[in-house]
């Protein structure tokens, strides 16, 4: 891996480099995506079936679009029982973590007759998009579905592309069943996003749409936002490791590569105060890469977006980490908890040498659907809140309103909204009958 000194210039160049991976920079695909969405919006099932035949080479129709119970049972039979057990244990950890996020409606009455509050209501129907083919990740099924289930969503549907024989990845089907998906549809790509956003004869319209996908799926989610709610526009995966001289270079290198193997656009960055560690990590990266199964993808990722930044101080390293706002942030320092208190921007933080990033991907419980491309500065991980609506509750007695009506009328009139002021004033004018 390249080793460069952390300066204001190299930090700026790095940030610009990373931002090039954002879905916002792939406008050349937007026209094609918008055409697909408009076709699905206008023509429903017919467009959905045509695109599935074109892109997935499967003759989809109203009779075979839904995954049957028999297909789900077959998926279990194709999986090793030990893997099924692991998926179940992971699901329980995810469920337990997200149950702690549940919030109750609240109401605050006052002696003058004022009642204020907040009512929490789950969305009626959520849709989860799940990639297919080589990008089939049962872990992401759990991470998307379980928070919705915990929130109390009434119906959860899932779309995922079939292969040319109409088959779905067995792990994906088992995870969906374990997590509690109500209906699974054999459809993928921008056309599946459109089907869930607008509704077709076969696929119902959803209220909230979540889940990762390729650039076409990401752009489709961006385009349908407003017709439905979405989680976020996911970019390529990324990891940043903050380390000092106490870190184990072998562990650091292995953790960096855990994200570089996702795809050629993934980023893996080490920021360290130790020149010795930087050199050792670079050597271990080369050694690991040579023997890993996805070494071609890893090498392209590292060549494009892999960096080891050598900082003068841990303060400089922390400042850079906050600017980068990485999806995954590992802290491997003498006192990781102290460093953690100074981190403002990160999707998920992993503390200590035994909290490797894949722990969060698969098993610990916190959600691995995380903000990318610096959006951790204003976005959060997927959570139960993403599937809940919040409604304000307001009730005033005559006594309570009488005490403040003059203020409200004056405020409204200052904005030129005399009908607003009148709506309050008429309640305190004498009746002229």
Contact assessment for residue 37 and residue 190, using Cβ atoms and an 8 Å cutoff:
yes
Report d(CA 139, CA 382) in Å as an integer: 14
* 414 phi/psi in degrees, rounded to 5: -65, -25
Contact assessment for residue 203 and residue 293, using Cβ atoms and an 8 Å cutoff:
no
Contact assessment for residue 272 and residue 308, using Cβ atoms and an 8 Å cutoff:
yes
- Assign 36 to helix, strand or coil: helix
Cα end-to-end distance, the chain, whole Å: 86
- Find, among 84, 94, 212, the residue nearest to 149 by Cα: 94
β-pairing verdict for 229-230 and 306-310: unpaired
The dihedral through the CA atoms of 217, 222, 225, 227 has a sign that is: negative
Q: Is 71 a catalytic residue?
A: no
Q: Is 368 a catalytic residue?
A: no
Contact assessment for residue 347 and residue 376, using Cβ atoms and an 8 Å cutoff:
yes
Report d(CA 31, CA 49) in Å as an integer: 20
Choose, from 328, 357, 368, 409, the residue flagged as catalytic. Answer: 328
Name, in order, each residue with C-beta under 8 angstroms of 430's C-beta and a sequence gap of 6 or more: none
* 233 phi/psi in degrees, rounded to 5: -100, 100
With left for phi above 0 and alpha for psi between -120 and 50, is residue 57 left, alpha or beta?
A: left
Choose, from 238, 327, 357, 409, the residue flagged as catalytic. Answer: 327
Report d(CA 321, CA 319) in Å as an integer: 5
CB atoms within 10 A of CB 206: 26
Just list the catalytic residues.
327-328
């Amino acid at each position: 891996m390249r080793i460069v000194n952390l300066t204001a210039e190299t930090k700026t160049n790095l940030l610009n480099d990373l931002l090039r991976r954002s879905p916002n920079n792939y406008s050349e695909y937007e026209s094609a995506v918008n055409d697909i969405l408009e076709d699905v919006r206008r023509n429903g099932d017919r467009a959905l079936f045509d695109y599935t035949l074109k892109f997935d080479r499967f003759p989809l129709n109203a009779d075979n679009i839904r995954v049957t119970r028999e297909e789900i049972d077959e998926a279990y039979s194709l999986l090793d029982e030990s893997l099924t057990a692991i998926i179940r244990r992971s699901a329980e950890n995810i469920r337990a973590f997200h149950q702690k996020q549940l919030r109750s409606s609240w109401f605050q009455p006052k002696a003058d007759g004022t009642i204020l509050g907040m009512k929490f209501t789950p969305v009626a129907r959520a849709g989860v998009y799940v990639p297919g083919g080589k990008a089939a990740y049962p872990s992401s099924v759990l991470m998307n579905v379980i928070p919705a289930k915990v929130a109390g969503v009434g119906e959860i549907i899932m779309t995922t592309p079939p292969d040319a024989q109409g088959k779905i990845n067995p792990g994906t089907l088992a995870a969906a069943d374990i997590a509690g998906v109500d209906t699974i549809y054999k459809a993928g790509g921008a056309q599946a996003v459109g089907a869930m956003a607008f509704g077709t004869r076969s696929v119902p319209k959803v209220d909230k749409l979540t889940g990762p996908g390729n650039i076409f799926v990401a752009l489709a989610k961006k385009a349908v936002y407003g017709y439905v709610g979405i989680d976020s526009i996911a970019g390529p995966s990324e990891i940043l490791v903050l380390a000092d001289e106490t870190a184990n270079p072998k562990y650091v290198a292995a953790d960096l590569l855990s994200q570089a193997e996702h795809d050629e656009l993934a980023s893996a960055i080490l920021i360290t105060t130790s020149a010795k560690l930087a050199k050792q990590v670079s050597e271990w990266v080369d050694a690991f890469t040579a023997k890993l199964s996805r070494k071609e993808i890893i090498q392209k990722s590292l060549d494009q977006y892999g960096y080891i930044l050598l900082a003068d101080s841990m303060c400089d390293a922390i400042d850079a980490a906050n600017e980068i706002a990485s999806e995954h942030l590992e802290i491997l320092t003498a006192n990781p908890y102290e460093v953690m208190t100074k981190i403002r921007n990160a999707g998920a933080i992993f503390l200590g040498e035994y909290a490797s990033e894949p722990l969060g991907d698969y098993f610990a419980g916190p959600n691995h659907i995380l903000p990318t491309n610096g959006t951790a500065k204003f976005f959060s991980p997927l959570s139960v809140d993403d599937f809940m609506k919040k409604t304000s509750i307001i009730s005033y007695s005559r006594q309570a309103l009488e005490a403040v009506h003059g203020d409200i009328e004056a405020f409204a009139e200052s904005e030129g909204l005399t009908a607003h002021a009148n709506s309050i004033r008429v309640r305190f004018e004498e009746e002229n009958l």
